[in-house]
Structure 1
């Protein structure tokens, strides 16, 4: 349970400090009552593990003052304390708010975090696993998932070559590509600049001018011959005129490519835990968003999810082949930016052996208005035999904290000068624009293990 020590000291009646303290105490009481009703009461918590995932909006950012008082941190701690393991996304470079949250949770809680992901798509975010050491144990295995060559995610714009440092296009005579094209733009003072790339089809006959130092690479594995009586030399037969095909690559000097093949926008974080008899490999993610309307950006999102399930699924399959009776459960969880249960982004998640439990599929949505299935938890081959252990889901849901704290009927208390729409946005920077999702699994397989022991044949 969280530690409430900061709330013990009272202040003069009517003071801002006392108003805040009393309001926080009342909010905690409402949350505690609601959380007690929310989670299943018919399970023995000694024999289960409860895993949560929560995208906490820009946790550590100072927008709207950040979490500028202890009030939201107490509410967040109250919610997280009901989990045994919690995957947290959108933790920023500045971890002071996170550290305050951990202090409220108390000494039983620990965490494992990645560094922030570089680049604009990474958004300065890190992945974090928080866990109650009385309920789950870190198995000293953790790593950030990277993709091998040939398996990287292709960016939405495909492959691009920088037209600089001697590389240029030569258009056919008379060709003029100037014109009006659809694109978003931004005005900055008196100048208008593109807010997205504009792609212009090239006319037939367009040529690529190459810089000095470019070369033709004949790829490894291509069939060749050897000159007689020589070592370290080969005969290469090249077509006359147009050179093309899978055996050839064009090599440019310097930094010519636009880094189209990418790792994940935000690096997934894989950590192994033990809860009771259950070993759990958890990979938390915050998948590339891009746009819900742009098909190309949606395709990049789908590719990230597909590459994730492929990589984690292959890893889990290798582990199970080594030890078929391994009591290991593998799951991916976090913000996948899934459009809907019927969308191709969900199909990418439920590929390569992964399945989303039915109890999670029944949740309308995990964003605040419950219209999007952004957050998900999926298990690799949950029906597979794991010796004495198996994937048994006792419950799953999302918890709507805005029904109990920072409620709409409290707008005049918090932000009387804001419209309802503005207040709704403001409060997501105090709590979040995502609802925490959780799943509760069986973790006590004592009887099944004893049955396995009892069935063991004595040596001859």
Structure 2
């Protein structure tokens, strides 16, 4: 249970600090009652594992003053304390808020975190697993998931070449591509307008690429060649005259000429191995590239990330089984997949390469505040596979709507009387989140099944 030490100290009657203290106490009481009703009654928690996933909006950022008081962190701690493991996304470089949250959760809780993901698409985020040490054992296996050579996630817009440092386009004489094009733009505070997305202008026939000094034609590794008689360390290479193209050839530029936006995932998935009772489980937490719900190319980018994620994780789990056929470890992936709906192509991508979203999770209307989008998901790799004594048995799953109990709409005059309802709705997501925490509860006690395996073991000669 969380530690409420900060709430014991009172302040002068009628002061802002005292009003906040009393309000926080009332909010915690409402949450505790609601959480007691929310989770299934009568479950023997010594025989189950409850896993939560929560995208906490810009956790550690300063927008809307961040979580500038203990109040939202107490509410978060109250919710997370009901999980045994919590996968948290959108934790920023500054972990001060998260560490305060962990302090409220108390000494029974620990965490494992990635470094911050570089690059604009990564948004300066890290992945974190928080877990209750009394309920879960960290199996000392953790790592970031990276894709093998040749299988990077290709950008939806294709690879771009930097037109600088001697690389240029040479267009036919008289060509002028200036004009009006469709694109989104952002208005800056200074009044200037800047592009919010690339503008792609088709090139006319006859356009050529001017190459800088130091460029080279690369004949790719594995191409069949011959060796000059009596030589070592040399080969005969046949290069077509005029137009050079084909799978055996590449163009090498000096320096950083390619704008490779997606060499790996936008935000690197993180895999950690835990054990609760008899249940051994490898959990991979993700925050998939978002882009734009209305842009088909960016949706395709999102789908590609999900596909290559499940392919890589499925391949990893399959290889582990081949090395050890008696392996009882369950593989699951959870987090913010930015999935539109259970019927959308993004969900189809998740449920490929052996991964299955349990029906109890598919039945959840949505995990955003409006419950209209299935952004967050939990999926298991080949859940029906025979793993000996272990199995994937989902007891229950749901999302918890904290805004029914704290930072409620009828409390706008308490928090933000000067704001409109719409503005207040946005403000409160930066105190709590714009995602609801999702959870799943699994059976973790396989004692009887293991005894059956032992009994069936034939004696040695």
Gaps of 5+ in 2: none
* Structure 2 residue matching 1:376: 3-state secondary structure: strand
Q: Give the structure 2 partner of residue 442 of structure 1.
A: 443
User: Residues 288 and 277 of structure 1: is their aligned pair in 2 closer, same or farther, counting only changes over 3 Å?
Assistant: same
Q: Does 1:164 align with 2:164?
A: yes
* Structure 2 residue matching 1:153: 3-state secondary structure: coil
For 1:323 and 1:214, locate their aligned partners in 2 and report how far apart those are by CA, in whole Å: 48
Q: Does 1:111 align with 2:111?
A: yes
For 1:354 and 1:31, locate their aligned partners in 2 and report how far apart those are by CA, in whole Å: 34
**Residues 205-284 of structure 1 aligned to structure 2 (within 5 Å):** 205-284=206-285
For 1:170 and 1:316, locate their aligned partners in 2 and report how far apart those are by CA, in whole Å: 50
1:342 to partner: Cα distance = 1.1
The farther-off stretch of 140-149 and 359-368 is 140-149
TM-score by length of 1: 0.98
1:411 to partner: Cα distance = 0.8
Is the 1:365–1:374 Cα contact (8 Å) retained in structure 2? yes
1:280 to partner: Cα distance = 0.7
For 1:169 and 1:217, locate their aligned partners in 2 and report how far apart those are by CA, in whole Å: 21
User: Residues 121 and 261 of structure 1: is their aligned pair in 2 closer, same or farther, counting only changes over 3 Å?
Assistant: closer
Q: Give the structure 2 partner of residue 200 of structure 1.
A: 201
The superposition leaves residues 84-134 of structure 1 with CA deviations (integer Å, 9 ceiling, x where unpaired) of 000001111111111111111111111111111111111111110000001
Is the 1:325–1:388 Cα contact (8 Å) retained in structure 2? no
CA RMSD of aligned residues (A): 1.2
User: Residues 7 and 310 of structure 1: is their aligned pair in 2 closer, same or farther, counting only changes over 3 Å?
Assistant: same
1:191 to partner: Cα distance = 4.1
The superposition leaves residues 167-214 of structure 1 with CA deviations (integer Å, 9 ceiling, x where unpaired) of 111112332222211112234446433222111111112111112221
Q: Give the structure 2 partner of residue 155 of structure 1.
A: 155
For 2:321 and 2:213, locate their aligned partners in 1 and report how far apart those are by CA, in whole Å: 52
1:324 to partner: Cα distance = 2.3
Q: Give the structure 2 partner of residue 32 of structure 1.
A: 32
1:333 to partner: Cα distance = 0.4
The farther-off stretch of 388-397 and 263-272 is 263-272
**Residues 301-312 of structure 1 aligned to structure 2 (within 5 Å):** 301-312=302-313
Q: Give the structure 2 partner of residue 350 of structure 1.
A: 351
* Structure 2 residue matching 1:26: 3-state secondary structure: helix
Gaps of 5+ in 1: none
Aligned pairs, number: 460
1:459 to partner: Cα distance = 0.3
Is the 1:325–1:385 Cα contact (8 Å) retained in structure 2? no
* Structure 1 residue matching 2:142: 3-state secondary structure: strand
